[in-house]
Amino acid sequence: MPQVIRSPKVYDAVIVGSGAGGGMAAYVLTKAGAKCLMLEAGDWYDTAKESTMMQWPYQVPHRGAFDRKKPNGYFDPGYGGWRLPGEPYTNAPGSNWMWWRTRALGGRTNHWGRISLRMGPYDFKPFTRDGHGFDWPISYEDLAPYYDKTEELIGVFGTAEGLENTPDGKFMPPPRPRCYELMIQKACRKLGIPCIPSRLSIITQSINGRPHCHYCGQCGRSCATSSNFSSPTVLIPPAMATGNLEVRCNAMGREVIVGHDGLAQAVSYIDKKTRKENQVRAKIVVLAASTCETARILLNSKSPTHPNGLGNSSGYVGKYLMDTVGADGSDGFFPAMVDMPPHNEDGVGGMHLYMPWWNYQRQLRHELPFSRGFHIEFGGGRSGMPDVGDFFGSDRMLGGGYGVGLKRGVKKMWGAFVGFSCRGEMIPNEQSYCEIDKDLVDEWGIPVLKFHYHFTDEEIQMVKYARETFREIILTAGGQPLENYGPGDNWGIAQGGAIIHEVGACRMGADRSTSVLNANCQAWDCKNLFITDGAPFVSNADKNPTLSIMALAWRTSEYAADQVRKRNV
Amino acid sequence: MENKKQSGSLNRRDLLKVITAAPAAAMVVPGLAGESAVAAQESGGGYQPKFFNTHEYQTVTVLSDWIIPADEHSGSATQAGVPEFMDDWLNAEEAGGGPPRHHRRVSATMGTEALGSLTWIDMECNRLHGNDFVDCSRDQQKQILDRIAYPGKAAPEDVNAAAAFSRVRDLVLGGYFSSKMGIEYLPYLGNHYVEQWNGCPEPDLERLGVSYSEDWRNWKSTDD
């Protein structure tokens, strides 16, 4: 009995991954008439049934902590995490990368922050602008129509502001700011820091049969009413409705099988239930397994025509890996917020205001010790359900104590804090990449990744400036800054991979000797191979990647469908 | 303040059905706030601790109510089911259900520190009064607590005990304020279906000296 299951069926496209990029590829390709098979390494996830929206901590085991399958706890559909049993990875000495995997239909789109920011014109040509990093082979104008279409499909709220390198989108009306958000906005006005409505893929108006948001603040739990964006609620259903999509779960992508002509013929995957290999044949292969997983699949796809892995004649697969530059935990205590008249402060599951980068001109004049920007996110007050851990460390503010005084003190102080975070642009560097670790396989027999990852002074200086900025905002708003990061801990810069925005590793380019993909995210070495996740990115702007992943995936998928129609691939 | 105006495009009945349906995974856990905790106390305690031994659990029960007693506004820690919560939570932490999300000091579990605190408290009470904490008088118990309840003011020989007691306090507060009783006491008014979001109410706007009249939607309009 053959160990490898090979079906004679040839799909028009096999899509590896069901998240933002895989979901969008499925949406576009199925609507173009392609018969698609989507492979997902995790289990099926039924949002309407499984969302834990509106449950209370006292209704669930351990108040929602310590879920074996979900490191962020019971409420959060992040099945998997940075340490996934049976799926290890390694770090080179001196590196400390954390690699997040969400093993569920829809991947990270189930539990992400819904922050939907367009990259700006500068972000596509950073090298031309300031001599650092690399230019994309496409410009903002090439992607703008796809940003339009994506926003119109998924629904994003925001306002047109006309700010530098912060393109406005096709927006629904934003929700009004919360009390403390108005307070912080007022402080930002004094400091000349723009503080504008955020841009989140949470719908304030019903579209496409999806009811609008009901402001329970639980977006991160995935939305049982499809009122925020996730792949399983917005992309996969219309794709399935075409009749052209088959989804297979618990399918761990292993490698792309290549024919004698060097073209992709099939995708090999391990069925997690049976541990048997299957191979599914397709005319085109779309990889959207998430940046590092896609790079891993290519590196593991060795053949006589592609001895270093598929698509890797340049040697650039795995290279120039980037995560967002993050700094969290800059909290402020605000006496004015103590004992506020109680009200439901939840709103949507995310900030209603944010601060886009504002120092472009100063940087052109070399007035700052770092070259790129960050945006600021903030949150606090009484938004969000009380969690056990929220009350740890109360002695810091209250000095300790016990009794009625303590109880009343906690009540008084609750909701009087606002915390700030930055999300900034890392400049790609040669020391940050992933490769195959020759000494280890995972439980599916697939060689694992080894990571090399380093920040440079650029990123450290950015975080230092961010911390100083947060202190200024807090003080201007009448608050007391509470954190004390300093040079000894690199100002609390988040570990690589902790922000879970990794991109690069299979970058696009104009020159095939220094890139993996052409300007259409088509592999130089294998014309029927396309990548639609974050791997093609050439830079990692201070704009969370998901919206750009989807816009690019739409563009790539349209191109692929067009090429198939023209019989070019 | 919830605005119950209905939008014509929603099928409200179906929507509420989805929102209020209890998913299969949710279950009633021991030590729920209110009724079951009171009943357990009255019946002499039906809860069998898994992490603490019987004596430790008794000590935790007494300590919890020192930390959060009842007053005219809300019930005590035991009335909110805090001892059961603590035992269950620490048992889950011990069983390695994953690193505690909020305890970033990775090398120590809160269970270790809680047990250390209880052991020290009994040790001191026995040294001073020849009794375990639970058998000491209220005044004697208070004396011990006053030494370790204020980390910044603890005597040099008590600083570690104060740090450990802070973890016990953390657990009591965490358990109380995530219980139904505690959430209602804060009060946290969210985690509900809200038809229309109206933003910050008038009394809160006044308190913070902010308003919606300055155009929050258009940054450029504030330029001089």
Q: pLDDT tens-digit profile of A488-497?
A: 999 999 999 9
What is the pLDDT confidence band of residue A466, given thresholds at 50, 70 and 90?
Answer: very high
A401–B contact, CB cutoff 8 A? yes
Query: For A166, how many CA atoms within 13 A lie in the half-sphere containing its CB?
Result: 25
Query: For residue B82, is it within any domain?
Result: yes
Structure confidence at residue B12 (pLDDT): 43
pLDDT tens, residue by residue, A355-396:
999 999 999 999 999 999 999 999 999 999 999 999 999 998
Amino acid at A218: Q
**Residue A331 gets which letter from DSSP?**
E
A93–B contact, CB cutoff 8 A? no
Residue A315 has pLDDT above 50, yes or no: yes
What is the pLDDT confidence band of residue A3, given thresholds at 50, 70 and 90?
Answer: low
Query: For residue B22, is it within any domain?
Result: yes
With 0-12 CB in 10 A as exposed, 13-18 as middle and 19+ as buried, what is A301? buried
Question: What number of other Cβ atoms are within 10 A of residue A279's Cβ?
Answer: 17
CB contact under 8 A, A399 and B26: no
pLDDT tens, residue by residue, A67-93:
878 888 889 888 989 999 899 999 999
A562 min Cα distance to partner chain B (Å)? 38
Query: For residue B211, is it within any domain?
Result: no
A264 min Cα distance to partner chain B (Å)? 40
B197 min Cα distance to partner chain A (Å)? 7
Structure confidence at residue B18 (pLDDT): 45
Distance CA A91, CA A286 (A): 28
**Residue A444 gets which letter from DSSP?**
T
Number of structural domains chain B divides into: 1
Residues of chain B positioned with their CB less than 8 A from the CB of A200: none
In percent, how much of chain A has pLDDT > 90? 93
B221–A contact, CB cutoff 8 A? no
Residues with Cβ within 8 Å of A226's Cβ and at least 6 positions away in sequence, in order, are: A47, A48, A210, A211, A233, A234
- Contact by Cβ (8 Å): A150, A28: no
Phi, psi of A331 (to 5 degrees): -95, 150
**Global pTM exceeds 0.90:** yes
Phi, psi of A439 (to 5 degrees): -100, 0
Distance CA A357, CA B164 (A): 43
Question: What number of other Cβ atoms are within 10 A of residue A141's Cβ?
Answer: 9
Minimum CA–CA partner of A198 in chain B:
B217
Residue B13 has pLDDT above 60, yes or no: no
B38 vs A247, higher pLDDT: A247
What is the pLDDT confidence band of residue B45, given thresholds at 50, 70 and 90?
Answer: low
Structure confidence at residue A472 (pLDDT): 98
Cis peptide before A145 (omega within 30 of 0): no
- Contact by Cβ (8 Å): A122, A357: no
Question: What number of other Cβ atoms are within 10 A of residue A124's Cβ?
Answer: 22
If residue A438 lies in a helix (H) or strand (E), which one and from where to where? strand A433-441
Structure confidence at residue B213 (pLDDT): 85
In total, the C-beta contacts within 8 angstroms joining chain A to chain B are 280
Query: For residue B209, is it within any domain?
Result: no
Residue B10 has pLDDT above 80, yes or no: no
Query: For residue B206, is it within any domain?
Result: no
Range of the domain at B64: 12-185
- Contact by Cβ (8 Å): A100, A81: yes
Residues with Cβ within 8 Å of A243's Cβ and at least 6 positions away in sequence, in order, are: none
Distance CA B97, CA A87 (A): 18
- Contact by Cβ (8 Å): A286, A38: no
B39–A contact, CB cutoff 8 A? no
3-state secondary structure of B139: helix
* CA–CA–CA angle A271, A273, A278 (5° rounding): 20
Question: What number of other Cβ atoms are within 10 A of residue B62's Cβ?
Answer: 16
In percent, how much of chain A has pLDDT > 70? 99
pLDDT tens, residue by residue, A31-73:
999 999 999 999 999 999 999 988 999 999 999 988 878 888 8
pLDDT tens, residue by residue, B59-106:
999 999 999 999 999 999 999 999 999 999 999 988 875 444 444 445
Q: Burial letters for A477-513: b for 16+ Cβ neighbours within 10 Å, e otherwise?
A: bbbebbbebeeeeebbbbebbbbbbbbbbbbbbeeee
CB contact under 8 A, A341 and B207: yes
pLDDT tens, residue by residue, B138-167:
999 999 999 999 999 999 999 999 999 999
Residues with Cβ within 8 Å of A148's Cβ and at least 6 positions away in sequence, in order, are: A169, A170
Structure confidence at residue A540 (pLDDT): 98
- Contact by Cβ (8 Å): A444, A252: yes
Query: For residue B1, is it within any domain?
Result: no
Query: For residue B157, is it within any domain?
Result: yes
Query: For residue B203, is it within any domain?
Result: no
Q: How many angstroms separate the Cα of A377 from the Cα of each of A83, A195, A197, A476, A518?
A: 27, 10, 11, 17, 34
Distance CA A508, CA A432 (A): 17
